[in-house]
């Protein structure tokens, strides 16, 4: 299998990326095709769909060995589940699956065709192996059960982001920054109320603390290499 494209996102590292796609729909990303797949005919008709599936590689989590059980972060990082009962990146084959909203399908441009998507949960540069349209009539199952994720899906924090710090972000990035902080980017296995955490997003390092259910931004520091989509 060969990558057909890579994705450009505002996440230069794994820390802070939403744990599932579409949890922060304000996140904008760009999919750039690789030659010889950089052909506008390859996406003909894709603009008719509102959502697409991305099959991609956990490129930063490749391991030679695998384990039958993993520790899902939202269960505190201490309770084990079977690897095939989770969406953990530590799998026999490092394959990821994400459903994202298709904002725009550009058939022309400097890099050939490219896709603008929202809600992606991928690190910048992640290789994409396939793209398929999302089909509501067979992909959507409202009657599906949620398993153990039922107890964790509503976990959100109240974010206090001082206006003078939030204004350092371009206006089009502010809602996304708030959305990813609401998801609580801290590692669940190590949380300390006095610790200052940092998450890199859209060219800035957001420093924050969490007390109870309230996340307070302390500072916003520019990264050495700024990159905005």
Q: What is the pLDDT at residue 113?
A: 93
Do 5-59+94-139 and 158-222 come out as alike in CATH topology? no
- Tell me the two tokens of residue 111: 């890099």
**pTM, 2 dp:** 0.89
Give the chain's mean pLDDT. Answer: 91
Distance (Å, whole) CA 27 – CA 36: 28
pLDDT bin (cut points 50, 70, 90) of residue 226 is very low
76-81 long-range contacts, Cβ below 8 Å, gap at least 24? 76/188, 76/189, 77/187, 77/188, 77/189, 78/189, 81/148
152 confidence band (pLDDT: 50, 70, 90): low
The helix/strand count (H/E) of the chain reads as 3, 12
Tens of pLDDT, residue by residue over 111-140, are: 779 999 999 999 999 999 999 999 999 999
| 3-class secondary-structure state, position 82 | strand
Q: Helix H segments across 62-221?
A: 136-139, 163-166, 171-182
Domain 5-59+94-139 coded CATH 2.40.50.140: no
Whether the predicted pLDDT of 153 surpasses 80: no
Class level of CATH domain 158-222: alpha beta
Q: For 44-71, what is each residue's pLDDT tens digit?
A: 999 999 999 999 999 887 677 889 998 8
- Does 20 have pLDDT greater than 50? yes
pLDDT tens, 199-218? Answer: 999 999 999 999 999 999 99
pLDDT tens figures, 160-176: 999 999 999 999 999 99
Residue 27 has pLDDT above 50, yes or no: yes
Instruction: State the average pLDDT over residues 167-191.
Output: 90
The pLDDT value given to residue 64:
76
Using CA of residue 71, residue 75, residue 79, residue 82, what is the dihedral sign?
negative
> How confident is the model at residue 151, as a pLDDT?
67
Contact 27, 118 (CB under 8 A): yes
Of 79, 108, 102, 134, which is closest to residue 29 (Cα–Cα)?
Answer: 102
| Residue 37 banded pLDDT, cuts 50, 70, 90 | very high
pLDDT score, position 18? 93
Domain positions in the chain: 5-59+94-139, 158-222
Return the pLDDT at 228: 45
């Amino acid at each position: 299998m060969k990558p057909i494209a890579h994705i450009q996102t505002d996440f230069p590292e794994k820390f802070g990326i939403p744990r599932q796609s579409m949890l922060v729909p304000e996140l904008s990303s760009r999919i750039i095709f690789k030659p010889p797949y950089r052909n506008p005919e390859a996406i003909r008709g894709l603009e008719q769909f509102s959502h697409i599936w991305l099959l991609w590689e956990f490129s930063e989590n490749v391991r030679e060995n695998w384990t039958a059980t993993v520790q899902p972060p939202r269960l505190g990082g201490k309770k084990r589940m079977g690897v095939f009962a989770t969406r953990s990146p530590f799998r026999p084959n490092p394959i990821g699956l994400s459903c994202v909203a298709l904002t725009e399908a550009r058939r022309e441009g400097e890099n050939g065709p490219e896709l603008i998507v929202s809600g992606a949960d991928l690190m910048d540069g992640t290789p994409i192996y396939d793209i398929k349209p999302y089909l509501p009539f067979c992909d959507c199952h409202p009657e599906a059960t949620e398993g153990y994720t039922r107890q964790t899906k509503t976990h959100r924090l109240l974010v206090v982001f001082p206006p003078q710090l939030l204004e350092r972000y371009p206006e089009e990035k502010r809602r996304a920054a708030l959305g990813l902080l609401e998801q609580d980017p801290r590692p669940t296995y190590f949380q300390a109320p006095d610790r200052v955490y940092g998450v890199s997003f859209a060219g800035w390092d957001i420093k924050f603390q969490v007390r109870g259910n309230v996340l307070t931004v302390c500072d916003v520091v520019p990264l050495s290499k700024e990159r905005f989509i």
